[in-house]
C-alpha cells in the first residue's frame, strides 16, 4: 500500500510563498508470493518504507504566474499540483473538473449571452460557424481541450490547474494549445499551474516559474520574467506565398459558406507548411458594385472604373481548424495588404464582431450594418414550416428540408408573398445580371425554380439577417474619407 504523508505544508498568501515537505510511506501487502520475495532478498515483509518526494521545497508563485511542472512519470508532479490546488481552494478551477454537456450545441453551453459565447469560443480557436453548432461529443480531442479552456475563462477563477497538460494531443496541436493558454491567461490576469512529462512546450507556454522534478527528492526551480509569448513555435516554418484556386479548394471546406468559389478573384495568398500543405488562405476579389460603409470610408461615391483600379476586397480568410487562435488570420491580412497592388482594401465580415483580427492586422472598423427589420420579421415565418434558422446558410440542409413537394410549395409561396417588399433583395435572390427585377418576373422565376434554386435562395436570405462589420485599409494610412470608428 502507498500513502502520501504531508509533513509540512505552508502557504503565505501575502508573499505568494509555498513551502512543502511531502513523503510517501509504503507497506507491503502480505501474500504468499510477497513473503517469498522478502525472504529471498532479506527484506522485512511488514517493514514500512519511506520515500521523500519534496523536502523543504519553496515556491514563489504570484496570481499572474504561469507555472510549468515537468519531470518523469512517477516523479511527483501530480502530487505537487494537488498540494497547490488544496492550498488555493476555491480560487482554483481545474480543467478536469469542467462540467460538460455532451448533447447541447456548444453555443448553448458557454457564456451568459450569445455575444459572450461567440467571443469565448473564438478566443480559443473554435471560431467556425458550424463548430458553434456542434456538440461536445462531436469534437476532436484538440477541440475538446480548447472548449475546456473557454470554460476556464468563463469561470472567473484566477488560478487554472491542468494536470497531464495536453498529454492526449499530437505535439503540434499541443504547442498551439499551450501558446493560446498563456495568451488568454495573461490577457485576463490569471495564473496557470500545469504539469506534464513532455519537454516540448516550454517555448509556447512561456512559463515564469519552471519546476523540474526528478525521481526521488531532487527538484530544480527556475524563475523567469513574466513575458507574453507573441509567436507560436508552429508558425516558424510557415511560408507566405501567392497561391492558386487549387489551394483554395484544399481549404474551402473549412469556411462556413460551403465550398463555393469567390466571384471575380483577384489574387490568392497562402500560408504553406514546409511539406507544401496549405494551412491558411486569403482571397482578394474585385469590389462588389455596392457595399455599405464604402462611401463613408472614401468620402465620395466611386465609379466602377475607379473601384476596379484602386480598390480590392477581402472575400475569404480561411484557416485550417488546427491552426486557429495563434494569430495566423491577422498575419494573412497584415502581410498581404501591401501585396495586392491597390491603394485601398475593404472587407465585410460577420466574425469581425467577435474576433478583431482584421483590426489587429491594421484595418479600421468603419461601420456596422443592421439587418432590415422587415426581413428579420419575415424569416421568422420559416420556423413553423420546420426550418431551423441557424442552418439556413447551408444549402445541403435546405435541400433536405425541401425534399417533399409540400415543403417546396410552402417556401415558394413564402418568397412570392414577400416579393413586393423586397425590391433590392429580389435581384440578389434571383442572382441574375439585370439592374432591376420586377415583382411579376420574380414570382414567375420562383414558381419555375427547382429545389436546388430555392435552397440557394434560402441561403442568400439567411445572409440578410446577419449583422456585418465594414473595415477599410489605406496604403497611405490616410483614408480619403473623414470617418470615425468611435461609437460603433
Closest CA to 204 of 189, 186, 218: 186
The CA distance from 153 to 175, in Å, is 19
pLDDT of the residue at 473: 97
Give the mean model confidence (pLDDT) for residues 305-320.
96
Question: Domains, the chain, ranges and CATH?
Answer: 1-60 (no CATH), 62-233 (3.40.50.300), 238-370+467-474 (3.40.630.30), 373-463 (no CATH)
pLDDT of the residue at 379: 93
Any residues with CB less than 8 A from the CB of 254 and at least 6 apart, and which?
A: 128, 318, 319, 320, 321
Banded pLDDT at 481 (limits 50, 70, 90): low
Banded pLDDT at 260 (limits 50, 70, 90): low
pLDDT of the residue at 237: 87
Task: Give yes or no for residue 143 having a pLDDT over 80.
Answer: yes
**Model pLDDT for residues 395-442, shown as the tens digit of each residue:** 888 999 999 999 999 999 999 999 998 887 888 888 766 667 899 999
Answering whether pTM is above 0.75, one says yes
Whole-Å CA distances, 281 to 353, 365, 373: 21, 22, 34
Give the mean model confidence (pLDDT) for residues 452-480.
87
Banded pLDDT at 25 (limits 50, 70, 90): confident
Whole-Å CA distances, 56 to 18, 178, 459: 10, 30, 65
Any residues with CB less than 8 A from the CB of 38 and at least 6 apart, and which?
A: 28, 44, 45
Cβ proximity of 257 and 392 under 8 Å: no
Give the mean model confidence (pLDDT) for residues 270-287.
96
DSSP, collapsed to helix, strand or coil, labels residue 387 as: coil
Closest CA to 465 of 360, 359, 357, 379: 379
Any residues with CB less than 8 A from the CB of 152 and at least 6 apart, and which?
A: 93, 95, 98, 160
Task: Give yes or no for residue 173 having a pLDDT over 70.
Answer: yes
pLDDT of the residue at 8: 65
pLDDT of the residue at 488: 38
**Model pLDDT for residues 242-254, shown as the tens digit of each residue:** 999 999 999 998 8
Whole-Å CA distances, 91 to 142, 159, 298: 26, 6, 51
Banded pLDDT at 486 (limits 50, 70, 90): very low
Question: In this structure, are strands 191-196 and 66-71 parallel, antiparallel, or unpaired?
Answer: parallel
pLDDT of the residue at 393: 79
DSSP assigned state of 329: H
Give the mean model confidence (pLDDT) for residues 59-87.
94
pLDDT of the residue at 49: 66
The sign one gets for the Cα dihedral 235, 238, 239, 243 is negative
pLDDT of the residue at 280: 97
In the block, residue with C-alpha cell 496570481: 63
Banded pLDDT at 487 (limits 50, 70, 90): very low
Amino acid at each position: 500500500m502507498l500513502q502520501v504523508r504531508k509533513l509540512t505544508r505552508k502557504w503565505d498568501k501575502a508573499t505568494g510563498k509555498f513551502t512543502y515537505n511531502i513523503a510517501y510511506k509504503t507497506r507491503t501487502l502480505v501474500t504468499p508470493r510477497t513473503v517469498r520475495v522478502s525472504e529471498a532478498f532479506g527484506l522485512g515483509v511488514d517493514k514500512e518504507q519511506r520515500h521523500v518526494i519534496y523536502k523543504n521545497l519553496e515556491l514563489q508563485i504570484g496570481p499572474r504566474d504561469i507555472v510549468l511542472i515537468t519531470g518523469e512519470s512517477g516523479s511527483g508532479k501530480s502530487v505537487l499540483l494537488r498540494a497547490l490546488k488544496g492550498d488555493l481552494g476555491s480560487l482554483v478551477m481545474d480543467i478536469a473538473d469542467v462540467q460538460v454537456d455532451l448533447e447541447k450545441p456548444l453555443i448553448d453551453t458557454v457564456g451568459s449571452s450569445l455575444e459572450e459565447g461567440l467571443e469565448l469560443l473564438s478566443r480559443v480557436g473554435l471560431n467556425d460557424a458550424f463548430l458553434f453548432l456542434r456538440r461536445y461529443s462531436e469534437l476532436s480531442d484538440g477541440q475538446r481541450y480548447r472548449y475546456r479552456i473557454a470554460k476556464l475563462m468563463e469561470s472567473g477563477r484566477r488560478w487554472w490547474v491542468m494536470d497531464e497538460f495536453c498529454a492526449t494531443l499530437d505535439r503540434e496541436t499541443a504547442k498551439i494549445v499551450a501558446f493560446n493558454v498563456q495568451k488568454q491567461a495573461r490577457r485576463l490576469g490569471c495564473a496557470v499551474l500545469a504539469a506534464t512529462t513532455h519537454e516540448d512546450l516550454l517555448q509556447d507556454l512561456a512559463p515564469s516559474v519552471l519546476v523540474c522534478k526528478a525521481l526521488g527528492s531532487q527538484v530544480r526551480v527556475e524563475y523567469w520574467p513574466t513575458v507574453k509569448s507573441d509567436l507560436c513555435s508552429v508558425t516558424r516554418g510557415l511560408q507566405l506565398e501567392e497561391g492558386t484556386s487549387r489551394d483554395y479548394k484544399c481549404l474551402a471546406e473549412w469556411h462556413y459558406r460551403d465550398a463555393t468559389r469567390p466571384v471575380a478573384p483577384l489574387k490568392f495568398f497562402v500560408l504553406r507548411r514546409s511539406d507544401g500543405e496549405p494551412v491558411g488562405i486569403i482571397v482578394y476579389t474585385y469590389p462588389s458594385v455596392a457595399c455599405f460603409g464604402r462611401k463613408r470610408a472614401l468620402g465620395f461615391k466611386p465609379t466602377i472604373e475607379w473601384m476596379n483600379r484602386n480598390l480590392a476586397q477581402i472575400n475569404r480568410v480561411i484557416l485550417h481548424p488546427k491552426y486557429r487562435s495563434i494569430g495566423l488570420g491577422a498575419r494573412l491580412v497584415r502581410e498581404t495588404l501591401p501585396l495586392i497592388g491597390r491603394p485601398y482594401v475593404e472587407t465585410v465580415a460577420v466574425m469581425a464582431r467577435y474576433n478583431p483580427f482584421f483590426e489587429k492586422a491594421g484595418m479600421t472598423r468603419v461601420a456596422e450594418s443592421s439587418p432590415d427589420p422587415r426581413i428579420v420579421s419575415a424569416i421568422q415565418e420559416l420556423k413553423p414550416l420546420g426550418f431551423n434558422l441557424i442552418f439556413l446558410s447551408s444549402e445541403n440542409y435546405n435541400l433536405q428540408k425541401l425534399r417533399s413537394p409540400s415543403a417546396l410549395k410552402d417556401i415558394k409561396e413564402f418568397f412570392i408573398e414577400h416579393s413586393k417588399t423586397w425590391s433590392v433583395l429580389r435581384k440578389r435572390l434571383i442572382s441574375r445580371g439585370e439592374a432591376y427585377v420586377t415583382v411579376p418576373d420574380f414570382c414567375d422565376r420562383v414558381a419555375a425554380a427547382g429545389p436546388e434554386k430555392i435552397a440557394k435562395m434560402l441561403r442568400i436570405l439567411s445572409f440578410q439577417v446577419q449583422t456585418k462589420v465594414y473595415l477599410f485599409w489605406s496604403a497611405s494610412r490616410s483614408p480619403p474619407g473623414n470617418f470615425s470608428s468611435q461609437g460603433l
